[in-house]
Amino acid sequence: MKKLLVFLPILFLTGCAYYQPIGISSTSIGSQYERPSGMAEGVSRRWLFFPCYNACPVGEDSLKGAIADALDGQVGDTLANVYAERRIIAFPHIYFPLIVRSDIIVTGTLVKYNTKEFPPDNNALYSVDPAILWNNILKLDQNGQDEFIKSLSADRRAPLVNYALELEKLKKISEGSPEASLFYTLVSKSAGFAAHFAIKGVVALDYPIEDCQTYDCIVNYSFEEQKKFLIRIKKEAEYNATEERTNARNKLKFIKKEAFKKIRACFPEKESAIVIPPESQILFDELRLLEYLCKEGFL
């Protein structure tokens, strides 16, 4: 009886939190009219109290307010590539709350429009020429390079990666140089040395994909090999003998866990099936693997 008396108040006073994605926008950034200037997060909050709740709210949980909070004190005129979610916290219990807090949380890329104080630059980072883009990124410090590369979409990053690989092929990147550091940031391997990660499906490992147990392993191989491997272990997880089935299921579990860290949402029915958060860095051509995992029900 004493245990029950202790348990019931704890159950009643624990509260409840609920998260719900409410909006996602995606667009390319960088032209003669605007350029990215950083990342920002903002919150808009509303409080509801028993017994009137929505009749006597304090504050406002609006997308507009959250974006205004994100822009406050930042070098930016607006946000792009916005991810928004609603967070609801009820206390002491969701079914009979005395206090409810509702938050709208947004994360996005700060965009600065060109003005007299922030003039356009024909050789700026948003250039579509990978050679010009490469040279201008080299002018940034390491943190600036990291932030800018994170902001690039897969489509904009691909030509830059191809250019970096061409420089490596022509042996124009010296060990320990600023170019070598930028190369490593872009393609996740050191120029002129054995690749830690494969680029464009070139296998740099000395063992077959069948020995892979994790997502970070299979990402080193070509998309065709990845696809065959995933189809095979999915069948093994469903139809094989007990031990083989268990091993296959463990592989799928580890792959799913690691792949989920790369994305923010999966929509198998949509053409663009996955949403990648601005802070994520994915390897060149890795987007195809993540899209396949989402659309084929692996995630």
The answer as to whether 276 is a domain residue is: yes
The answer as to whether 19 is a domain residue is: yes
Q: How far apart are CA 83 and CA 70, in angstroms?
A: 12
Asked if residue 63 and residue 27 are part of one domain, the reply reads yes
Asked if residue 22 and residue 103 are part of one domain, the reply reads yes
User: What are the pLDDT digits (tens) for 251-283?
Assistant: 888 888 888 887 877 788 777 777 776 666 666
Domains of the chain: total: 3
> 187, 218, 234: which is the final residue of a domain?
187
The answer as to whether 118 is a domain residue is: no
The answer as to whether 71 is a domain residue is: yes
The answer as to whether 3 is a domain residue is: no
Residue type for position 194: A
The answer as to whether 256 is a domain residue is: yes
Q: How far apart are CA 99 and CA 107, in angstroms?
A: 26
Per-residue pLDDT at 44: 94
Asked if residue 85 and residue 32 are part of one domain, the reply reads yes
Q: Which residues of the chain have pLDDT under 70?
A: 1-18, 23-33, 114-128, 153-155, 188-207, 240-241, 277-285
From the list 156, 200, 164, 157, the residue with the least C-alpha distance to 182 is 164
Per-residue pLDDT at 200: 39
**Burial class of residue 120 (count of CB atoms within 10 Å of its CB; 0-12, 13-18, 19+):** middle
Question: H-type helices in the chain, by residue range?
Answer: 2-13, 63-71, 130-138, 142-151, 154-169, 178-187, 215-218, 223-239, 242-260, 286-295
The answer as to whether 108 is a domain residue is: yes
Asked if residue 107 and residue 14 are part of one domain, the reply reads yes
Asked if residue 93 and residue 67 are part of one domain, the reply reads yes
Asked if residue 102 and residue 165 are part of one domain, the reply reads no
Asked if residue 102 and residue 14 are part of one domain, the reply reads yes
Per-residue pLDDT at 237: 82
Full residue range of the structural domain in which residue 34 is found: 9-113
Number of residues that this document lists for the chain: 299
Asked if residue 274 and residue 227 are part of one domain, the reply reads yes
Distance of CA 108 to the CA centre of its chain: 11
The answer as to whether 144 is a domain residue is: yes
Asked if residue 285 and residue 226 are part of one domain, the reply reads yes
Asked if residue 74 and residue 23 are part of one domain, the reply reads yes
Per-residue pLDDT at 13: 53
